[in-house]
Structure 1
Amino acid sequence: MDKISLQNPLFATYVIAAALMILKAVSMSWLTVVRMTQEKGGYRSPEDLRKTALNPDPNPKQLEPNERVERIRRIQLNDLESLPFFLVAGLLFVLTDPPLWLAQWLLYGYVVSRLLHFAAYLSAQTHDMRATLWTVGSLILIFMTLWALVAALHA
């Protein structure tokens, strides 16, 4: 069976986890726009103050930071910092042909940890809570990366 095939349950597990994480990360841009529209502010560029159908009453205060918008931007930045590592580490990991149960636990565990991290950040939970959820995902990435490294060194 080809390792990079949806017929391979390991690779299919990776594809599901990766697709969920990509969709989550992309949705953050949409959530930012929704928040800016709701708040009628949190804009970043001077041209955003031009009168348009979506901004009929521009005001210079719309360029000031808005905490509800900035919170979404911070969540998105956190995603952008971690998603590339997950995509690469996950792919390298599944290419080593680990047990399916282990791949499912790690890949889906990472997805769950990131979704819980998002919920904690969005609902303004403490740093300790966010850090705990971030740590779970980070340890999963480290484990998968070391697994791939050891497999490559033994090849």
Structure 2
Amino acid sequence: MIRNEVFSCFVFYAVLLVVKMYVIAIITGQVRLRKKAFANPEDALRHGGLQFYREDPYVERCRRAHQNDLENILPFLFLGAVYSLIGPSLSVARFHFLVFFICRVLHSVAYLWPLEPPTRSLAYVVAQIPCFSMALQILVSVAAYA
């Protein structure tokens, strides 16, 4: 049992985000199969021939959504874990984690089902606010030791 309530809260949202990333990866694979657009010639050969070794705009959209998750969720996992260890208020930490999670889900939805601008951009920017806040609080907390 994890005794640090903030860390437990972080782990909850971190696992949800990792599961969300797996879902996006599965969606990407399913779209590849449905559109018959494979990134590797051996996969195309297995599924009908080299003519399916090609790009598809929607497959690329799914792939970019997954890539964007990697670029944003991985730093959050580091920041959130360290932030949990500096002793923040549980309610403030939960708010940071929840805002990031909701925004990343909205970002993925806006990417996969092209929502009207600026939905995706706004979700991205708002998700960066808790990350920036956590980073600043970590730096302030450890500055005396640097």
Q: TM-score, normalised by structure 2?
A: 0.92
1:98-153 residue CA offsets vs partner (Å, 9 max, x unmatched):
11100000011100110011111111124522111000111111110101110111
CA distance in 2, matches of 1:38, 1:121: 18
Contact 2:37/2:44, CA 8 A, preserved across alignment: no
CA distance in 2, matches of 1:89, 1:151: 13
Q: Which has the higher helix share?
A: 2
Residue 92 of structure 2 is aligned to residue 102 of structure 1: yes
Specify the alignment match of 1:68 in structure 2: 58
Structure 2 letter corresponding to 1:50 = L
CA distance in 2, matches of 1:79, 1:31: 14
- Unaligned stretches of 5+ in structure 2? none
Q: TM-score, normalised by structure 1?
A: 0.87
- Unaligned stretches of 5+ in structure 1? none
Query: Which residue of the other structure, out of 87, 102, 108, is the alignment partner of 1:112?
Result: 102
Specify the alignment match of 2:22 in structure 1: 26
Shift of 1:27: 2.1
Residue 45 of structure 2 is aligned to residue 50 of structure 1: yes
CA distance in 1, matches of 2:125, 2:51: 37
Residue 126 of structure 2 is aligned to residue 136 of structure 1: yes
Specify the alignment match of 2:73 in structure 1: 83
Q: Secondary structure at the match of 1:7?
A: coil
| Alignment coverage as a number of residue pairs | 145
Query: Which residue of the other structure, out of 1, 8, 13, is the alignment partner of 1:12?
Result: 8
Shift of 1:154: 4.0
Contact 2:44/2:51, CA 8 A, preserved across alignment: no
Kindly, what percent of the aligned residue pairs are identical?
Answer: 26
Q: Which runs of 4+ in 1 moved over 6 A?
A: none
Residue 143 of structure 2 is aligned to residue 150 of structure 1: no
Contact 1:28/1:76, CA 8 A, preserved across alignment: yes
Structure showing greater Rg = 1
CA distance in 2, matches of 1:89, 1:28: 22
CA distance in 1, matches of 2:88, 2:54: 50
CA distance in 2, matches of 1:127, 1:61: 34
